[in-house]
């Protein structure tokens, strides 16, 4: 009777069978059109062939895999699980959970926003971290604001696929403005969006409300039809020194990274 030796790193797992099953699913996820044979799975994951066969058998029985003559692929039960997961996530609740970890000395307002079907940013939630701001109606939850006038709106527009962006801008000659610093020219907006894509975040200075500036970043999510949401960190412009801006940007990146992990 032969005995196959498991790799040491697998043996250290507290739930090795689950850990191996996750690795199998991740392997197939990386090449969804490919049909993986048991031998290839075993070789790619550095596990015994008998182990790979047992794992695939259990995943097949649970409809997490499907099998053809050529090998295994992801199963239809994953669609049901994915749909249930999407339904279970409350974006606003997750946002507030993440905001609880924001620096105590941030002295800014953190906002969550999405795009509507046109060219507006819609604010879904906000967490005031001793910002001292009085933004009025333009920042009320549920309020639609021209996306070209806000940092988060421009971050969202920059995250759109090119065809979607051009569809939204088609026929637009002049964009609405909120202050004298708001961008009104679609050509200039496209130039700003390209810069945002390159640096990974948007900056807004007094384009929504005079005396206020922000830094914003969009992230991708399966919980929105357009696949995007944005977080912004807003503060009084008079406080925005270089060091202060760096602090806000660091907080923004930490918040968006954690939010993306939770989603």
* 234: CATH: 3.30.450.40
| Residue 79 shares a structural domain with residue 93 | no
pLDDT at residue 65, as a whole number: 93
Rounded Cα distance between 47 and 140, Å, is 55
| Residue 79 shares a structural domain with residue 117 | no
The domain boundary, picked from 58, 85, 112, lies at 85
pLDDT in tens, 101-129: 888 888 899 999 989 888 999 888 888 88
The domain boundary, picked from 28, 54, 85, lies at 85
pLDDT in tens, 167-191: 999 989 999 999 999 999 999 999 9
pLDDT higher than threshold 70 for residue 7: no
Q: Which domain holds residue 49?
A: 8-85
pLDDT at residue 164, as a whole number: 92
Total domains present in the chain: 2
Q: How many residues does the chain have?
A: 263
DSSP letter, residue 205: E
| Residue 70 shares a structural domain with residue 115 | no
| Residue 221 shares a structural domain with residue 242 | yes
Whether residue 2 lies inside any domain: the answer is no
Using an 8 Å Cβ cutoff, are 121 and 144 in contact?
A: yes
| Residue 175 shares a structural domain with residue 207 | yes
pTM, whole model, 2 decimals? 0.66
């Amino acid at each position: 009777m032969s005995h196959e030796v498991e790799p040491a790193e697998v043996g250290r797992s507290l739930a090795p069978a689950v850990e191996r099953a996750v690795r199998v699913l991740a392997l197939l996820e990386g090449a969804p059109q490919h049909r993986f044979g048991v031998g290839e799975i075993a070789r790619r994951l550095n596990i015994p062939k008998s182990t790979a066969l047992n794992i695939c058998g259990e995943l097949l029985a649970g409809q997490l895999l499907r099998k053809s003559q050529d090998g295994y692929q992801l199963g239809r039960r994953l669609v049901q699980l994915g749909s249930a997961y999407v339904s279970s996530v409350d974006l606003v609740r997750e946002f507030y959970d993440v905001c609880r970890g924001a620096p105590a000395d941030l002295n800014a307002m953190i906002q969550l926003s999405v795009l509507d079907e046109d060219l507006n940013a819609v604010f879904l939630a906000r967490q005031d971290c001793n910002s001292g701001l009085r933004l009025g109606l333009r920042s009320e939850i549920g309020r639609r604001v021209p996306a070209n006038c806000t940092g988060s709106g421009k971050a969202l527009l920059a995250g759109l696929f090119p065809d979607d962006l051009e569809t939204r801008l088609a026929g637009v000659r002049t964009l609405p403005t909120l202050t004298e610093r708001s961008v009104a020219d679609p050509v200039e907006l496209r130039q700003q969006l390209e810069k945002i894509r390159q640096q990974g975040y948007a900056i807004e200075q007094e384009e929504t409300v005079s005396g206020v500036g922000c830094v914003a970043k969009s992230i991708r999510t399966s919980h929105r039809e357009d696949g995007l949401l944005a977080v912004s960190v807003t503060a009084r412009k008079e406080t925005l020194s270089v060091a202060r801006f760096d602090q806000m940007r660091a907080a923004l990146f930490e918040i968006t990274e954690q939010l993306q992990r939770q989603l």
